[in-house]
Structure 1
Amino acid sequence: MAEAALLLVTTKIGVAVAKGALSYTGLPKKAGYVAELPSNMRVIKNDLELIQAFLKDIGRKGWTDRVPEIWIGQARRLAYEMEDIVDQFIYVVGKHHHEAAWWGYVKKIVKKPKSLLTLDEIATALNMINRELIQLKQNRDWFQPIIDVSDVPATSYDIQHQQYLPGYDYSISDNELVGLEKNKDDLMKSLDLGVSSNLQISAVWGMGGIGKSTLVNHVFTASNFDCKAWVSVSQSYKLDDIWRSMMNGIKSKEEKEFDAEKMSSIELTDKLKEILGTKRYLIVLDDVWAAKVFFEIKHVFVDEHMGSRIIITTRTKEVAAAHDGCMIEVEPLDEKKAWLLFCRKAFPRIENHICPKELHEYAKSIVEKCGGLPLALVTIGSILSLKVKTVTEWRLFHDQLISELHNNDNLSRVQNILNLSYKYLPDYLKNCFLYCAMFPEDHMIHRKRLIRMWLAEGFIEQIGNCSLEDVAEGYLTQLVQRSMLHVVERNSFNRIKCVRMHDLVRELAIFQSKRESFGTTYDDSHGVMQVESDSRRLSVLQCKNDIQPSIGQCRLRTFIVFSTSKTSSSLFQSESKYLAVLELSGLPIETIPDSIGELFNLKYLGLDKTDVKILPRSAVKLHNLETLSLQDTNCLHLPRGSEKLKGLQHIFMYKVLDKAFSVTNSVEPMEPFDGLWSLKNLHTLKAVRASEIYVAKLANLSQLRTLSIIGVRSIHCAQLCDSL
């Protein structure tokens, strides 16, 4: 959906109007459209917010008709075009704000990047967008009557969840409950009356398709209670429907005289309390998405100390931790158990379910791709059990696995279950999540690096007095708690250090990224690829072929290279003026073109472990630059005039002399330049050579969080302590 793109651009418009208000006080009345820019932006912002609300509405209704889909694509394209204009406006007006007078700005406009628009051209482009927006609203008014509430089909969520109620064939028998045995025992023990006669609540949590509902279903059917009910809770739940579902499950034969469908909400809750107050009951609330849902439901669960139990299944840790009861995390299967489960489903008629030797290579690769996800292992294994056991057939399926995932109806439930997690992400998390798919498979994504890229892209909104970095870390924690990312490593303070994306989740994120023109991953291992001309981001994973594709007129926001081949850098042929993130670390490049100064929007420049020795003089024009990373390079001097880079927050600049860090002087630091102490937004400075002047001026950098200073001598110590 396009909600995330609309949220991003409306946020940026708010920033643009705020920044431009002061500068516009000096504009002459005769400027016409130029003088009306801020007010026109506010009008467009209001329209886009209404479109965003409309998209949410039809998203909740689960409408999948082709006409709204085309309209959504047009809305997304307009949002992207508007974002481009807003970024230019912020830059141009920002330049004006820093001049003493409007005339001073006019005189210096000739020095702006050649690719930038003037304010007149921005105003013209904005008027064109406004006209297209009017047409877009008229088109919506044309097809909106079609989407009438009474005619709306059941949501895809509800359709999918009908398959997972008790009685549905989960395709896993008791003796095939691989890897869930301990979780099952723990859950069974929590239901035991001997544990406590008080009402007890247990939560089972983990990513979609991990086997939560399967596990709970086995416990549900095997347990003995006076009455039991299984309630599937959707994201767009209605309390009355939950009450009725619960009522239909727990009422006994003698209670059939009343009709739950005709009862009001108050009548339903009163009757539920009456029945539950006289019985030992077990209620399963399946797939709860938010803690507030449980709090709204729990008041009907009366506790008469009869040993009643509640089980919640959820994809989010927040919901699981919303009570003081038993909390069970279901994790992906390890390699051995994943292989065992797959073979049981793929080779059901072979003795001991042993995989034929000739199929072993492809079977192992498929299992590895499933990443220990039981739903994928069971579904894919069951499909392969029906195929001919030949190398040709299995190789074909293996090579087309991702395509099969999107196009094979038998695999649709794997895709649907995983996609639900993305669909119900808050809009402010969607861009952050899709961005993680740009990293290679099984890549350890470092928290600090990822957060700096998110900040450069403008994905993080200011919340109260919190720093943007702290807000971004909160976003990352939410993605982990929603099982969209998995923590690989934590630091000594128990903060997230590295995360990783599940392989299948990543593949679906890549598919969604292409669909929304969010980004493209380039990998020509199996032949030359074509890069979509409307893609906003490009990640180069492998680049081996000499024949390079045409990127076209991409308005790239991010360009990241993970391949270290010499041909990788040649992919970057587009001098995209909108680039916010340029990550070329590891490439065998020695020079940076002087045209880099034209990248007015650049906020993150990564050149770690390259052969770069010097940055071009034009780099001092990068007034929006926030992160400059030159770790382990021969570049230890910034060009003259670097004190103009007032937006710099993170500088990493040093050469590693001893790779093993076995000696004290293992790093050669950057040389401090005149005016370094004037960069008052610096959060990170790593590493700088000590000098009397710098040590004395260090106190000016009051925002520093990380400092690495090399070559401190005894004559520096007193002043260094004072400055710190």
Structure 2
Amino acid sequence: MEVVTGAMGSLLPKLGELLVGEYKLLKGVKKDVESLEREMKSMNAALVKMAEVPRDQLDNQVIIWADELRELSYDMEDVVDNFLVCAEGSQSDAIADSNNLKRLVGKMANLFTKGKTRHQIGNAIRDIKNRAQEVADRRDRYKVDGVVTNPAGKQKIDPRVLALYKDQKELVGIEDARDELTKMLTDDDGPKQQQHKMKIVSIIGPGGLGKTTLAKAVYDRLQTQFTCTTFVLVGRDPEVKKVLRDIILEVDKNKCMGDLATLDETQLISKLRRLLENARYLIVIDDIWDLKAWDIIKCALLDNNHVSRVITTTRILDVAKNTGDIYKLKPLSHHLSEELFYTRLFGGKDKCPFDHPAEVSSKILQKCGGLPLAIITLASLLAGKPMENWSKVFNSIGFGSGDNNKDVENTRKILSFSYYDLPCHLRSCLLHLSVYPEDDLIMKDTLIWQWVAEGFVIEEPGVSLFETGERYFNELLNRSMIQPVEDSVKYTIYACCIHDMVLDIICLFSKEQNFVTILDSNEEHTPSQCNARRLAVQKRVLPLTNMNMPKLRS
């Protein structure tokens, strides 16, 4: 007992010196970390602003600068997290169980290790500050002052416009949907007092399913029954005044744009209501994303008891529910998918060569999942290519493959609209889905807890993290970004899956942002150095032992 007491007496002064030095170092590093956290908030604000603009609309210098800024913010996040892990409970741990000499020696060794770690954190902070200054200097040197878009001379064409002018002969598998929607619009079996009321039907489905094409087909069939007809595109970032002006110009052919340019929203609504007052009208409002925009447009659509009809299209369930009756557009059956595929390739299935690669064709159609836009895109990609190369094309399918096919680019733009409409926290949750291979069944609860563990779920007062994550999951379902898998007995959604074409666009964005690094059996070689932050190992056959991944988080 005396020996132990003597040893303790000689160790305590050293422990006191260690604690004082540790406290000073910790205080200095903590001050630097707090400074980093403030800098991170500014960086994140700049990156959020940058993320509001599609990447292909940014100037190249801005893209380079934004990529540097994002990597710097990643490194800052790592330093802050390392500090929090290192600093947690260091003083209390050092003093706890001080009656036990063996434990005390262990705590002192731990203090020495943590002190060394904090020195490393301090050095990392100084390095990051220097890099931050270099990034800021480059921004000033190259006059990167904000979100600079590509030159205005490059005319941007809305890819949905192409759907409005398709020849009816080109449309495959639309007849049943057209008949069903026509019946919904013309059915007058309700109460007599309701038969003359305006009716609104909303077509809902994910991007590329053919909502615009269907709306145009029904519009063409019914427009002769109405005195006023118009078809207007809204889009993700609508200028409501322009939408109202477009409707007025279609309804009143004698009007000039100049007469309407000075009118505000209220004046435009009043003018349109007067024009529609005694008319039986058919109006299509295509691609609505925002309920606020719809509420303003709807004010102008006067219910004049003349059996008027309005068709809207949207890919967001909440918008459809608040618009009118819902028509849920379904993917094409396998039979109709084949018909569309071979019509685009050969002019019809009956003209298909006997030696064509049927197995590869079947795999391609499975990948398309009944999405007409995807089928047309991939058929266009194969058109003109030797059939013996179809297998190679299939293996490289994806928007990151470098193919400059215009249909691929249009598909990418249409599907990316949904991504850019998401708030930043939902984008992180969506990009995280790139860790899953194609055709995976993704369990809902597991996915939400992964989001929580990664820090994607923002804490809210009085609400558990899981409940908030579940709301994120439902929002992605609501926006048609993921597809629900329902329990046939309990009628509850227990899992989800991702359309292959949506997964392709997610993987592309994930790679651009160094969000997830995917290693699979298609890798030709194993890189010795990898800056992956999140690593997804899929069907891996090569060993990972020689890979250096200093920034890996999960």
Query: Aligned residues, how many?
Result: 523
By relative contact order (CA 8 Å, sep 6+), the higher-ranking structure is 2
Task: Check 1:352–1:28 CA distance in 2 against 1; reply closer, same or farther (3 A cut).
Answer: closer
Task: Check 1:74–1:167 CA distance in 2 against 1; reply closer, same or farther (3 A cut).
Answer: closer
> Structure 2: any 5+ residue segments left out of the alignment?
1-20, 99-103, 190-194
Query: Aligned partners of 1:28, 1:116: CA distance in 2, in Å?
Result: 10
Task: Check 1:310–1:79 CA distance in 2 against 1; reply closer, same or farther (3 A cut).
Answer: same
1:55 equivalent among 38, 44, 50: 50
Give the AA of the match of 1:239.
V
Aligned to 2:188: 194
Query: Aligned partners of 1:413, 1:83: CA distance in 2, in Å?
Result: 36
Per the TM alignment, residue 380 of structure 1 is displaced from its structure 2 partner at its CA by 2.5
Give the AA of the match of 1:436.
L
Q: Does 1:326 align with 2:296?
A: no
Q: Is the 8 A contact 2:40 2:76 kept in 1?
A: no
Q: Does 1:458 align with 2:430?
A: no
Aligned to 1:83: 77
Per the TM alignment, residue 490 of structure 1 is displaced from its structure 2 partner at its CA by 3.2
Query: Aligned partners of 1:371, 1:63: CA distance in 2, in Å?
Result: 29
Task: Check 1:514–1:35 CA distance in 2 against 1; reply closer, same or farther (3 A cut).
Answer: closer
Task: Check 1:28–1:219 CA distance in 2 against 1; reply closer, same or farther (3 A cut).
Answer: same
Per the TM alignment, residue 181 of structure 1 is displaced from its structure 2 partner at its CA by 3.0
Query: Aligned partners of 2:510, 2:313: CA distance in 1, in Å?
Result: 29
Query: Aligned partners of 1:250, 1:373: CA distance in 2, in Å?
Result: 34
Query: Aligned partners of 1:213, 1:524: CA distance in 2, in Å?
Result: 39
Per the TM alignment, residue 467 of structure 1 is displaced from its structure 2 partner at its CA by 0.7
Task: Check 1:527–1:148 CA distance in 2 against 1; reply closer, same or farther (3 A cut).
Answer: closer
Aligned to 1:217: 216
Q: Is the 8 A contact 2:232 2:243 kept in 1?
A: yes
Q: Is the 8 A contact 2:342 2:349 kept in 1?
A: no
Aligned to 1:95: 89
Aligned to 1:610: none
Aligned to 2:302: 302
Aligned to 2:374: 376
Q: Is the 8 A contact 1:206 1:315 kept in 2?
A: yes
Per the TM alignment, residue 211 of structure 1 is displaced from its structure 2 partner at its CA by 0.7
Give the AA of the match of 1:250.
V
Query: Aligned partners of 2:252, 2:520: CA distance in 1, in Å?
Result: 58
1:479 equivalent among 470, 476, 479: 476
Task: Check 1:321–1:532 CA distance in 2 against 1; reply closer, same or farther (3 A cut).
Answer: farther
Aligned to 1:497: 494
Task: Check 1:459–1:257 CA distance in 2 against 1; reply closer, same or farther (3 A cut).
Answer: closer
2:532 equivalent among 532, 535, 559: 535
Q: Which structure 2 residues correspond to residues 53-132 of structure 1 after superposition, within 5 A?
A: 53-56=48-51, 59=53, 63-96=57-90, 99=93, 108=107, 110-111=109-110, 118-132=117-131
SS in 2 for 1:358: coil
Give the AA of the match of 1:252.
K
Q: Does 1:43 align with 2:42?
A: no
Q: Is the 8 A contact 1:281 1:308 kept in 2?
A: yes
Task: Check 1:182–1:36 CA distance in 2 against 1; reply closer, same or farther (3 A cut).
Answer: same
Task: Check 1:521–1:38 CA distance in 2 against 1; reply closer, same or farther (3 A cut).
Answer: closer
Give the AA of the match of 2:62.
P
Q: Is the 8 A contact 2:399 2:508 kept in 1?
A: no
Per the TM alignment, residue 453 of structure 1 is displaced from its structure 2 partner at its CA by 1.4
Give the AA of the match of 1:312.
T
2:426 equivalent among 425, 429, 435: 429
Per the TM alignment, residue 375 of structure 1 is displaced from its structure 2 partner at its CA by 0.5
Please, what TM-score do these two structures have when normalized by structure 2?
A: 0.84
Q: Does 1:358 align with 2:353?
A: no
Deviations 1:166-195 (A, max 9, x none): 78443x6257331x3332223212332736
Q: Is the 8 A contact 1:514 1:535 kept in 2?
A: no
Aligned to 1:246: 247
Aligned to 1:419: 416
Deviations 1:601-639 (A, max 9, x none): xxxxxxxxxxxxxxxxxxxxxxxxxxxxxxxxxxxxxxx
Deviations 1:573-606 (A, max 9, x none): xxxxxxxxxxxxxxxxxxxxxxxxxxxxxxxxxx
Give the AA of the match of 1:446.
M
Deviations 1:276-309 (A, max 9, x none): 2232222222221222221232211121111222
Query: Aligned partners of 2:196, 2:528: CA distance in 1, in Å?
Result: 63
Please, what TM-score do these two structures have when normalized by structure 1?
A: 0.65
Q: Is the 8 A contact 1:530 1:549 kept in 2?
A: no
Give the AA of the match of 1:235.
R
Q: CA RMSD in A?
A: 3.5
Query: Aligned partners of 2:514, 2:147: CA distance in 1, in Å?
Result: 29
Task: Check 1:77–1:168 CA distance in 2 against 1; reply closer, same or farther (3 A cut).
Answer: same
Query: Aligned partners of 1:529, 1:81: CA distance in 2, in Å?
Result: 24
Task: Check 1:64–1:499 CA distance in 2 against 1; reply closer, same or farther (3 A cut).
Answer: same
Task: Check 1:169–1:186 CA distance in 2 against 1; reply closer, same or farther (3 A cut).
Answer: same
Task: Check 1:155–1:78 CA distance in 2 against 1; reply closer, same or farther (3 A cut).
Answer: farther
Query: Aligned partners of 1:244, 1:109: CA distance in 2, in Å?
Result: 76
Give the AA of the match of 1:51.
A
Aligned to 1:268: 268
SS in 1 for 2:532: coil
Give the AA of the match of 1:244.
R
Bigger fraction of residues in helix: 2
Task: Check 1:29–1:100 CA distance in 2 against 1; reply closer, same or farther (3 A cut).
Answer: closer
Pick which of 215-224 and 281-290 moved more: 281-290
Q: Is the 8 A contact 2:425 2:456 kept in 1?
A: yes
Query: Aligned partners of 2:328, 2:91: CA distance in 1, in Å?
Result: 53
SS in 2 for 1:246: helix
Query: Aligned partners of 1:312, 1:412: CA distance in 2, in Å?
Result: 25
Per the TM alignment, residue 91 of structure 1 is displaced from its structure 2 partner at its CA by 1.4
Q: Is the 8 A contact 1:61 1:155 kept in 2?
A: no
Per the TM alignment, residue 82 of structure 1 is displaced from its structure 2 partner at its CA by 1.2
Aligned to 2:192: none
Deviations 1:485-526 (A, max 9, x none): 111233755432111111121122222222111112222157
Per the TM alignment, residue 120 of structure 1 is displaced from its structure 2 partner at its CA by 3.9
SS in 1 for 2:217: helix
Task: Check 1:356–1:64 CA distance in 2 against 1; reply closer, same or farther (3 A cut).
Answer: farther
Per the TM alignment, residue 463 of structure 1 is displaced from its structure 2 partner at its CA by 2.1
Per the TM alignment, residue 210 of structure 1 is displaced from its structure 2 partner at its CA by 0.8
Task: Check 1:403–1:308 CA distance in 2 against 1; reply closer, same or farther (3 A cut).
Answer: closer
Q: Is the 8 A contact 1:166 1:230 kept in 2?
A: no
Query: Aligned partners of 1:234, 1:106: CA distance in 2, in Å?
Result: 67
Query: Aligned partners of 1:271, 1:103: CA distance in 2, in Å?
Result: 82
Task: Check 1:230–1:344 CA distance in 2 against 1; reply closer, same or farther (3 A cut).
Answer: same
Query: Aligned partners of 2:169, 2:218: CA distance in 1, in Å?
Result: 10
Query: Aligned partners of 1:397, 1:257: CA distance in 2, in Å?
Result: 48
> Structure 1: any 5+ residue segments left out of the alignment?
1-25, 559-724
Aligned to 2:405: 409
Aligned to 2:6: none
Per the TM alignment, residue 379 of structure 1 is displaced from its structure 2 partner at its CA by 2.8
Task: Check 1:31–1:426 CA distance in 2 against 1; reply closer, same or farther (3 A cut).
Answer: closer
Aligned to 2:437: 440
Q: Is the 8 A contact 2:531 2:551 kept in 1?
A: yes
Pick which of 135-144 and 86-95 moved more: 135-144
